[in-house]
Structure 1
Amino acid sequence: MTASRHDVPAGGGAFALSDLTIGLFLVAQDEHRLALGSDRRHHIPLSADEGWILPGGAAGICEFDDAHSYLTVSFDKHMLDDVGLDTSTAFRPQVGGLEPLLAQLVRLAADRGEDSSSLYRQTMDLALATHLARLLAPHAELCASLDDRRLRKVIAYVQEHLTDDISLDQLASEAAMSRYHFARAFKAATGRSPIQYVIDERLDRARLLFKTTSATVAEVAFRVGYADVSRFGQHFRKRVGITPAQFRSQ
């Protein structure tokens, strides 16, 4: 999945999309004109937080009279297959209002920092793709279960790699499932999403280290998989109710 922000001067021009793409306008364009599959332009005013969802292979012309800022998120076939969206079935291009949660997830995808953990990035990407699939194909619901053997294997992997940048791909691979099915099945089995589970396990180990070692807060953060000490402190305080330093002094 690729998320980008675009700040461009007035004008526009021809476009061709290789993958299914969402576009989200950050500014209103009262004179927005769009042609799809031909050069016949249609006047379609769009406000901020409106935009379009176009299938892979869509081509046309987009024009606007004012400087423009917008976000795009493109999904490759692998990710869409992962969430059960059949890309061989055409859907009608959507131009205009976007469902509010979809728009929010697009903003989060474009705004997240490159230093985010692999598990966080992949979880948010999957959430966006899953929500899009539900909007485009609301009846295409797939189910899978996570048996005890595979669940134990995933939990063992987490315990052995807490200091690593754990990814959703790695956890799903341990369970021999797609990311989509794994994330849903793991939450059904444990009551927590994979990222919630990993955070909880890291903070539990941090509390143990604070009680049994003299390691500094920064050392403990690193030993439980946090490269960012401030983020560790935020998660610790949210979970435990006090800062790491306050917990240590108890």
Structure 2
Amino acid sequence: MNHQNRLQPSPLSEPVRRVETGSWAIELLPSAAYSTRYVAAQASIGFAFDSQRGLHALGSDRVHPFEAMPNGLAFVPAGCDVFSESLMGGEYLRVTRTDGIPLSGDHPFNNHIDQQAIDLALRMRGALLRACVEDDWETWALALAQRATGDSALSTPDQGAITPRRMRLLDEFIEANLEGPLGVSAMAGLLGLSEGYFMRAFKLATGKSPHSYLIDRRLAKARALMRDSTARLSEIALACGFNSQAHMATTFKQRLGVSPMQLR
């Protein structure tokens, strides 16, 4: 049940909510009737929040009725033939990688109940409905992918996986690239670690996620530029990797409780 193309929604239906961050694209598709047929160009993870009924064929020409329980995890591998339609549909989360790295797994499935996947999907849906600076999309997306694919990156990191020397390399890398998009894949690649292993090792070593640490670094640089330069706030925002001055202001208010103008 990979709802890639839905029937045209009514004017009163909710919009498709989408966020792209790091190596991932996450979409929340509203409850609506749909009909889709395609060959998957890339693997995707799905999560059906509602019970659904309809017809589908996954990886074969055999079309048969389906009845899906709510809170079902799904996976569609790259190259899989997909046909699915439902007159009632249901709210659906779809997660894909955007950096070309394939997701492991050769067999499609749906309607798999996994409590950790349910918790992750609910958290991601809440974040898509009401964005917050603390939203840790890359961590959530990778964790959901690991639930769907059984990724071997679930191994436990050593206590000293993030050494002071590695932390210094990371800090230098972040500082040099702060004005552009910085994802977990780039930081993990710098240290020669898998993304999942890196995120757990980083949290173990620092007490916070790479995403949260990156926000702190952006805020620290912005505050330094506000103090030591006469650049406009819009210029400072872009130099620190924020999407806009408004994005920077929101982050300041949520993290520090004051606006950039108040600090300056």
Preserved CA contact (<8 Å) 1:24 1:106: no
TM-score normalized by structure 2? 0.65
Larger Rg: 1
CA–CA distance in structure 1, aligned partners of residues 143 and 40 of structure 2: 21
Q: Which secondary structure state, in structure 2, belongs to the residue aligned with residue 78 of structure 1?
A: coil
Give the letter for the 2:154 counterpart: E
Pick which of 141-150 and 18-27 moved more. Answer: 18-27
Q: Which secondary structure state, in structure 2, belongs to the residue aligned with residue 8 of structure 1?
A: coil
Give the letter for the 1:172 counterpart: A
Alignment match, 2:118 = 100
> Alpha-carbon deviation of 1:132?
3.4
TM-score normalized by structure 1? 0.68
Identity within the alignment, %: 23
Alignment match, 2:137 = 124
> Alpha-carbon deviation of 1:190?
1.7
Give the structure with the higher percent helix: 1
Alignment match, 1:142 = 155
Alignment match, 2:248 = 232
Alignment match, 2:194 = 178
Alignment match, 1:169 = 185
Deviations 1:100-159 (A, max 9, x none): 33434665898899xxxxxx99x6245323233246549973134222222211111112
Preserved CA contact (<8 Å) 1:218 1:229: yes
Q: Does 1:196 align with 2:204?
A: no
CA–CA distance in structure 1, aligned partners of residues 230 and 154 of structure 2: 50
Give the letter for the 1:8 counterpart: L
Alignment match, 2:173 = 157
> In the superposition, relative to structure 1, how do residues 75 and 169 fare at CA in structure 2: closer, same or farther (>3 Å)?
closer
Q: Which secondary structure state, in structure 1, belongs to the residue aligned with residue 56 of structure 2?
A: strand
Alignment match, 1:8 = 7
Q: Which secondary structure state, in structure 1, belongs to the residue aligned with residue 154 of structure 2?
A: coil
> Alpha-carbon deviation of 1:35?
4.4
> Alpha-carbon deviation of 1:173?
2.7
- Counting only pairs closer than 5 Å after superposition, residues 212-231 of structure 1 correspond to structure 2 as 212-231=228-247
Structure 2: segments with no counterpart, 5+ residues: 9-32
> Alpha-carbon deviation of 1:238?
1.9
Preserved CA contact (<8 Å) 1:53 1:93: yes
Structure 1: segments with no counterpart, 5+ residues: 81-85, 114-119
Q: Which secondary structure state, in structure 1, belongs to the residue aligned with residue 95 of structure 2?
A: strand
CA–CA distance in structure 2, aligned partners of residues 69 and 135 of structure 1: 19
Preserved CA contact (<8 Å) 2:162 2:205: yes
> In the superposition, relative to structure 1, how do residues 65 and 46 fare at CA in structure 2: closer, same or farther (>3 Å)?
farther
Runs of 4+ more than 6 Å apart: 108-113
Q: Does 1:73 align with 2:78?
A: no
CA–CA distance in structure 2, aligned partners of residues 11 and 166 of structure 1: 35
